[in-house]
Amino acid sequence: MSKAPATRPTRRGILTAGGALGLGAVLAACGDEKAKSGGSGSGAPAGKAGPWSFKDDRGQTAKADKVPSNIVAFVGVAAALHDYGVDVKGVFGPTKTKDGKADVQAGDLDVDKVTVLGNEWGQFNIEKYAALAPDLLVTTMFDGAGTLWYVPEESKKKILAVGAPSVGISVYDRQMPEPLQRMLELAKSLGADTASAKTAQAKKRFEEAAARLRAAAKAKPDIKVLAGSASQDVFYVSGTNLSIDLEYFKALGVNFVEPPASALKASGGWFENLSWENVDKYKADVIMMDNRTSAIQPADITEATWKKLPAVKAGQVIARNPEPILSYDKCAPLLEDLAKAIETAKKVS
């Protein structure tokens, strides 16, 4: 998929530097009211007698007679639930790479033990979904309109008609700790032992990583960080006002390159499109590059303008996942990696 977002939402246009765009965010300016966080859920171990309920970030309450056990989820959500000990039966979204290995968004999931309903944007096998007899559908939301991420709009009604209640966790225009807490609440409602030593340790590591990043940013406030993503024809420079990771890192004091609002307007506020000839428009000391399979990875970028960037020549390029797996175990390293990059960075811009 290679058309520009202005003509039709594309995988690369949607899944680019600014985080990811729901269809509504691509097609309209991001004037939607923020999805409100609901309360926590209630429940017992999966499959046990209920009743079970969970109020999601659309303000909708999913209900069932017992705690769901046949769960289908967006792959990143499935990976987060797996970290808390909650397994799913089916997944959709980038799960396997072309060589059959686990996609970066699959985390520690055993991708050979789940039913993959669709591995790419627009793919969702409704027949396979129904055959799983799902009792819960879970995904994230990247806009304020409650658009369920990776649930195709054209088949959404048929998917929901299968009968499983749906839950949406918002990752739009808020800081990382909030959706992390919401995912923890969901996992708890599904029977996870969220008071376990493992979870406590992961949360402690996350909090320590946040403190380290804050200290690094304070010690080296002149180090400028750019969040980017590469496609064949376009280099995307992320704005920081909508993505859960960048908003949080900025709140911790990280000095980001910030494209003006006028440059971000075409993408609904997420990112600015640059030609490779203009990839040096912004000066940066550290570059965070989209590590998802939808983006070209730094080692595979051949453009001479990229190779000439001071941060690239200095080896000050790190990975970034614009769709973080929402468990403390997976988010802590993201903060640690950025903290280390700032701590060790030389001023090259």
Above 80 in pLDDT, residue 44? no
Above 80 in pLDDT, residue 25? no
Above 70 in pLDDT, residue 33? no
Above 80 in pLDDT, residue 35? no
Q: 225 with 256: CB under 8 angstroms?
A: yes
pLDDT tens-digit series, residues 54-69 = 999 999 999 999 999 9
Above 90 in pLDDT, residue 41? no
pLDDT tens-digit series, residues 173-216 = 999 999 999 999 999 999 999 999 999 999 999 999 999 999 99
| Of the candidates 284, 288, 347, the residue with the CA atom closest to the CA atom of residue 320 | 288
Task: State mean pLDDT over 290-310.
Answer: 97
- Written as one string, the DSSP assignment of 276-344 is GGGTTSS--SEEEEE-STTS--GGG---HHHHTSHHHHTT-EEEE-SS--SSHHHHHHHHHHHHHHHHH
Count helices and strands (H / E) in the chain: 12, 13
Burial of 127 (0-12, 13-18, 19+ CB in 10 A): exposed
Above 70 in pLDDT, residue 8? no
pLDDT tens-digit series, residues 162-174 = 999 999 999 999 9
pLDDT tens-digit series, residues 250-265 = 999 999 999 999 999 9
User: What does the block give as tokens for 55?
Assistant: 């109020």
At residue 50, φ and ψ (nearest 5 deg) are -100, -140
Taking the C-alpha atoms of residue 246 and residue 155, their distance in angstroms, rounded to an integer, is: 32
Give strand pairing partners of 225. Answer: 256, 286
What's the pLDDT band for 21 if we cut at 50, 70, 90?
A: very low
Q: Name the more confident of 32 and 167.
A: 167
Above 90 in pLDDT, residue 20? no
Confidence (pLDDT) at 13: 44
Q: Which of 29-33, 100-104, 244-248 has the lowest mean pLDDT?
A: 29-33
Burial of 294 (0-12, 13-18, 19+ CB in 10 A): buried
Confidence (pLDDT) at 47: 56
Q: Which of 10-14, 231-235, 311-315 has the lowest mean pLDDT?
A: 10-14
Above 80 in pLDDT, residue 43? no
Confidence (pLDDT) at 48: 67
What's the pLDDT band for 29 if we cut at 50, 70, 90?
A: very low
Q: Whole-number mean pLDDT of the chain?
A: 89
Strands 255-256 and 224-230: parallel
End-to-end, the C-alpha distance of the chain in Å comes to 34
Confidence (pLDDT) at 50: 72
Above 60 in pLDDT, residue 11? no
Taking the C-alpha atoms of residue 51 and residue 34, their distance in angstroms, rounded to an integer, is: 29
Q: Name the more confident of 229 and 11.
A: 229
Above 70 in pLDDT, residue 3? no
Q: Name the more confident of 101 and 24.
A: 101
